[in-house]
A = this chain, B = another copy of it.
Amino acid sequence: MVTIKEVAKKAGVSVATVSRVINKNGYVKESTFEKVQHAIQELNYRPSAIAVSLNNKKTKTIGLILPDITNPFFPELAKAVEEVANSNGYTMILCNSSGTLKNEIEQIEMLQSKYVDGIILASDSYVEEDYKHVNLPMVLLDRGANPRNSSIRVNNYYGGVLATEHLLEQGCTKIAHLAGPKDVFTAQQRLEGYQSVVEDMEWFDKKLVAYANYQLEDAITATKELLNQNIGIDGIFAGNDLMAIGCLKAIHSFGLSVPEDIAVIGFDGISLTNMIIPELSTIKQPIYEMGKEATNQIIKEIEGNETESRDIEFDVTLIQRESTNRKRRPGCEDGAKSKDNGNR
């Protein structure tokens, strides 16, 4: 690699001057500027990001910690982060935490020692206590408010309400909920949304709520149990899309059909939902937007334009597709009935 010294020698100036040319600050005579530029081209010189970082304590790098990149929700998020980061001159280091606190902590340590400028953390297991020693800008995804860090999320509660009401509107008379893990924030909120709608209905029964771990396989098992233990279920609100697909498979294995016998709606709006047959209705989160906003926020905090932390809540949107279309024949449309709740 060619260094600034070699450029200086070639151009017949000092390294200080070359530095000024590179950063376009300080006074440089026009002719000197050109001479230096020429030398830079000639030698195909690129400043060492390492050396620059050592000086100014900035690496132009942000860390993104995800529970699992193979969960289809996250690639879209990662893409948004990467794109926004890049277009602001940052690069992204990706870490898979596998959702365990131990890994998260370890990775945060590692990111700190690599001097990333900030961290975006999508964590299921976040507990404020555990992150006391993190003194970098950090924005949280899908977590509740926290005085120290900005957070980006959707109104999960309202999404739960929306999904449940939609099933009701479609004529469902007994609606079950396949909830995510009990200790996961988003899952709790979605469940509460569901409960708020159905708890006073005369058919409601606690046994209509089952739990699974947000994964497909687990959801299949849970759905089968749900169907065995309850008679007359004709609608299921699954806590995420992956589990909704599990529902579909379980229902299929019972020889029942969707949406005729049982309507199914998911949550997240991953692209998978319109790949399957029947296409899956869902409560869509603006995933890309969320990643974009998280990145913008972290960059603001890094660059010091914004030190106070912000709480940003996005709206969810009901996407009706075949899996809940009980009013006409399936296969017709893919309408996004936006039901903004007006916040933001």
Contacts and interface: CB of A to CB of B under 8 A. Distances in A.
A102 to B, nearest CB: 13
Contact of A50 (B59, B70, B76): B59
Interface stretch (A29-37, A112-120, A171-179, A309-317): A112-120
A69 B46 contact: no
B50 A115 contact: yes
Interface stretch (A152-160, A183-191, A194-202, A269-277): A269-277
State how many copies of this chain the complex holds.
2
Given A113-B47, A277-B277, A79 B83 contact: no
A213 B91 CA distance: 28
A21 B121 CA distance: 33
A79 B72 contact: no
A75 B83 contact: no
A221 to B, nearest CB: 15
Contact of A70 (B51, B79, B93, B242): B79
A144 interface: no
A222 interface: no
A113 B46 contact: yes
A91 to B, nearest CB: 5
Contacts of A253: 331
A233 interface: no
A321 interface: no
Given A113-B48, A133-B44, A249-B277, A70 B75 contact: yes
Given A69-B75, A79-B70, A248-B277, A92 B91 contact: no
A1 B252 CA distance: 57
A296 interface: no
Nearest to A55: B50
A158 B113 CA distance: 46
Interface string A40-82: 0000101111110110000101000000111010111011001
A336 interface: no
A245 interface: yes
A1 B44 CA distance: 34
Contacts of A242: 275
A191 to B, nearest CB: 24
Contacts of A68: 79
Nearest to A249: B277
A50 B46 contact: no
Interface of A: 1, 44, 46-51, 53-54, 59, 61, 68-70, 72, 74-76, 78-79, 82-83, 86, 91-96, 109-115, 133, 216, 242, 245, 248-249, 252-253, 271-272, 275-277, 331
6 contacts: A1-B112, A48-B113, A68-B79, A69-B79, A72-B75, A245-B275
